[in-house]
Amino acid sequence: MSMRWFLPVPLACLVLGAQAPKILDAPELVQARYRKREAMVPMRDGVKLFTSMYEPRDTSRPHPILMSRTPYGSGPYGPDAYRRGVGPSPAFAKEDYIVVYQDVRGRSRSEGQFMDARPHHPAKGPRDTDEATDTYDTIAWLLANVPNHNGRVGQWGISYPGHYAAQALLCGHPALKAVSPQAPMIDLWEGDDSYHRGAFQLLANAEFFTFFRSRPSTPSPTPPPLPLPPPQRPPDDYRWFLEAGPVQAVFPKMGQPADPIWEEYLRHHTYDAYWQARDLRPHLKQVEPAVLTVGGWFDAEDLFGALACAQTLTRQSPGTTSHLVMGPWSHGLWARGDGDRLGPLEFGSKTSAWFQQEVELRFFNQHLKGESGQPLPKATVFETGKNQWRAFDAWPPRTAQPRTFYLEAQGRLSGVKPDVGPGAPSAFDAFISDPARPVPHTQEITSGFSTAFMAEDQRFASRRPDVLVYETAPLEADLTLAGPLRPVLQVSTTGTDSDWVVKVIDVYPDDAPDPKDSPEGWHAGGAQMLVRGDILRGKFRNSFQSPEPFVPGKPTEVAFTLPDIFHTFQKGHRLMVQIQCSWFPLADRNPQTFCDIPKAPPEAFQKAEQRVYRSKALPSRLEVLALE
């Protein structure tokens, strides 16, 4: 059941604005309140990790410890160089936590060898290490060497640091009481940064590995790597990546050596032992600390990870005090900016500030300071379309009911199963998919990875002949979808492999008013706003481990699950589904021939006729959960 204990959003933000503490947003203000120390903290195998500690100057009472572990550098370095702010957000500015930052092994000033998403190993000898043991050893050292603590430790992090927060759940130290994995990487192959169900996330990884460079193992900290020449890329990624050809040519074309981790990703293009070892879900059992998992509905990088973390804890660790927060945010927006809009979308309030004060701070204060108050609900989720926070005692909501929308002739989408025979001429829709002219993921001419496409108007795509479009009639009442979306497509291809992209879209009425401050030249009337989209590499339709070619011309079922939404399609709007076979350069191109795609020669890239069936015998559909 929905628990509407929240203030109406505009009122809640007015109250928050009146009570928010003054932000410590300059090094001198942080220095006035905290004393900084740095140390090389020894791990059980002798490797030492660089750690900086900001200790409150107020010693009249003990303070909890709040830690973040990162591969990105915990600077500024030096005992007299202070951060502009400490803790997860400005809401923590005057809370006087002992705030700790640590470089993970093999990164920045820490010793040891870095390993990307280091696998967790439950069975270990006394000197064997992983991220869980490094977390345990760090906590033990802090408790023994940092004065004036209250014996309680918490950890938080966003994205890669969020992954380390999720790893911390496995450390088993009794002092670790509260952990907040935020946009954590949970399974890099199935749905996080590296692959999405077999489709390599080309643009994001090319951008990431131009600055995240590996360095060899050394017995002591080393200076930063030698500077590399700037990437040689003009401001049109679509054209540039298309001309670059196969993915192994990307870094040489930029004038840079390929990073070893990038090369590892390309070697492991199936869900093999490399990726399976990095999937955290099998290990999330009997978790003792309280958990606050945070994600954004418009996160283009780790939306999958946040949902997978929370769902796995609910399923495998039911005794854990676990909360999920999903807001209207792109990657990490809840920790920066106002969160009141994304592109042309307006959310009616400063959602980031509300979360920081009313959810995140409250969570840590309750579990680390022992503050009283109403416990957080199981799920605190923002309902897009209506722009309101709602609370539930389960996610998806227990009252959500299954509904199915079927593809029909003439681009219609309805709740009625088709009654068209399999031999009827109109029982399928077809188009030509050409790897030499893939469907772009954005209409913008850009250079660099931008998450704005997650809330972009899709009219540019619906006008292409290689994008199928299906939509309902104008809705006679609000339609609220809450939970995962499952497209079940009956398809055929003249090739032997194919990607399948499904997008779920909110179509605005023609007379919809433009929001204030909407982008120049953009109009809401008739807009096709992306709510959710994702991709499956077709050869993994039956198994992530064992790819299978398509039989040319043979109807085949392709089904997969899109990440959850919580969105209301308002009365008068339409629900639209778009289907295409490329999403470039967000994902690399599928040659449409069954092969080792990272090594595909030019002749492997072939046009294919793609059919999507919508007959009584072969009904293509979208399965959803709807709140009545």
User: What would the pLDDT profile of 463-497 be if each residue is shown by its tens digit?
Assistant: 999 999 999 999 999 999 999 999 999 999 999 99
pLDDT band at 256 (very low <50, low <70, confident <90, very high): confident
* Helix (H) or strand (E) segment spanning residue 388: strand 388-392
Q: Is 543 exposed, middle or buried (0-12, 13-18, 19+ CB in 10 A)?
A: exposed
pLDDT band at 48 (very low <50, low <70, confident <90, very high): very high
**What pLDDT does 211 receive?**
85
Spatial distance between the Cα atoms of 310 and 305, rounded to a whole number of angstroms = 9
Distances in Å between the alpha carbon of 166 and those of 104, 233, 324, 401? Answer: 14, 35, 13, 31
pLDDT band at 521 (very low <50, low <70, confident <90, very high): confident
4 pLDDT above the threshold of 90: no
6 pLDDT above the threshold of 70: no
**What pLDDT does 188 receive?**
98
CA angle 394, 399, 403 (to 5 degrees): 120
**What pLDDT does 229 receive?**
64
220 pLDDT above the threshold of 70: no
Neighbouring residues of 409: CB distance < 8 A, sequence distance ≥ 6: 420, 426, 614
**What pLDDT does 11 receive?**
27
Least confident interval from 123-127, 403-407, 461-465: 123-127
Domains plus CATH for the chain?
9-186+280-392 (3.40.50.1820), 198-276 (1.10.3020), 400-627 (2.60.120.260)
* CB-CB contact of 331 with 339 (8 Å): no
**What pLDDT does 214 receive?**
80
**What pLDDT does 423 receive?**
66
**What pLDDT does 337 receive?**
85
Spatial distance between the Cα atoms of 135 and 41, rounded to a whole number of angstroms = 11
Q: What integer is the mean pLDDT of 451-473?
A: 97
* CB-CB contact of 182 with 162 (8 Å): yes
Distance of CA 442 to the CA centre of its chain: 18
Spatial distance between the Cα atoms of 393 and 132, rounded to a whole number of angstroms = 30
Strands (E), 173-321: 176-182, 195-196, 199-200, 290-296
CA dihedral angle for residue 443, residue 483, residue 179, residue 337, rounded to 10 degrees: 30
CB-side neighbour CA atoms (13 Å) of 52? 22
65 pLDDT above the threshold of 70: yes
Spatial distance between the Cα atoms of 152 and 132, rounded to a whole number of angstroms = 17
Q: What is the pTM of this model?
A: 0.94
Quote the percentage of the chain above a pLDDT of 90.
85
Q: What integer is the mean pLDDT of 224-240?
A: 74
pLDDT band at 227 (very low <50, low <70, confident <90, very high): low
Q: What integer is the mean pLDDT of 374-398?
A: 97
pLDDT band at 222 (very low <50, low <70, confident <90, very high): low
Spatial distance between the Cα atoms of 259 and 247, rounded to a whole number of angstroms = 13
Q: What integer is the mean pLDDT of 40-57?
A: 98
Neighbouring residues of 582: CB distance < 8 A, sequence distance ≥ 6: 433, 435, 438, 439, 466, 499, 501, 589, 590
Neighbouring residues of 346: CB distance < 8 A, sequence distance ≥ 6: 340, 387, 515, 516
* Helix (H) or strand (E) segment spanning residue 41: strand 34-42
Q: What six digits make up the tokens of 77?
A: 């370095």
Of 458, 536, 453, which Cα lies nearest the Cα of 498?
A: 536
Least confident interval from 140-154, 254-268, 379-393, 473-487: 254-268
* CB-CB contact of 335 with 302 (8 Å): no
**What pLDDT does 74 receive?**
96
Spatial distance between the Cα atoms of 277 and 285, rounded to a whole number of angstroms = 16
**What pLDDT does 377 receive?**
98
- Indicate the SS3 state at residue 612: strand
* CB-CB contact of 475 with 230 (8 Å): no
Give the residue with greater pLDDT, 612 vs 126. Answer: 612
Average pLDDT, the chain: 92
* Helix (H) or strand (E) segment spanning residue 537: strand 528-537
- The string of pLDDT tens digits covering residues 68-90 is 999 999 999 999 999 999 999 99
Q: What integer is the mean pLDDT of 524-546?
A: 98
CA angle 415, 503, 480 (to 5 degrees): 50
- The string of pLDDT tens digits covering residues 554-602 is 999 999 999 999 999 999 999 999 999 999 999 999 999 999 999 999 9
* Helix (H) or strand (E) segment spanning residue 315: helix 303-316
Side chain identity at residue 223, one-letter code: P
Written as one string, the DSSP assignment of 462-512 is HTSTTSEEEEPSPPSS-EEEEEEEEEEEEEEESSS--EEEEEEEEEPPTTP
Terminal CA-CA length for the chain: 12
Q: What integer is the mean pLDDT of 396-401?
A: 98
**What pLDDT does 17 receive?**
31
Quote the percentage of the chain above a pLDDT of 70.
92
**What pLDDT does 230 receive?**
63
